[in-house]
Amino acid sequence: MWKLEVRTQRRVAFVDITADVAALVRECDDGVVTVYVPHTTAGVTVNENADPSVRADMEMTLERLVPGDLPFTHSEGNSDAHVKASLMGSSACVPLSDGALQLGTWQGIFFAEFDGPRRRTVLVTVAATA
The 10 Å Cβ neighbour count of residue 110 is 25
66 within 8 A of 87, measured Cβ to Cβ: yes
Q: Is 112 left (phi over 0), alpha (psi -120 to 50) or beta?
A: beta
The number of CA neighbours under 13 Å toward the Cβ of 98 is: 0
Answer whether residue 33 shows pLDDT above 70.
Answer: yes
pTM score of the predicted model = 0.95
Strands 2-7 and 42-48: unpaired
- Name 113's bridge partners: 13, 42
Domains defined along the chain, listed by start: 2-68+77-128 (2.60.120.460)
| pLDDT tens string 46-65 | 999 999 999 999 999 999 99
Confidence of residue 130 (pLDDT cuts 50, 70, 90): low
Helix, strand, coil share (%) of the chain residues, nearest 5: 25, 40, 40
- CA 25-31-32 angle, to 5 degrees, is 80
88 within 8 A of 45, measured Cβ to Cβ: yes
| pLDDT tens string 70-117 | 999 998 999 999 999 999 999 999 999 999 999 999 999 999 999 999
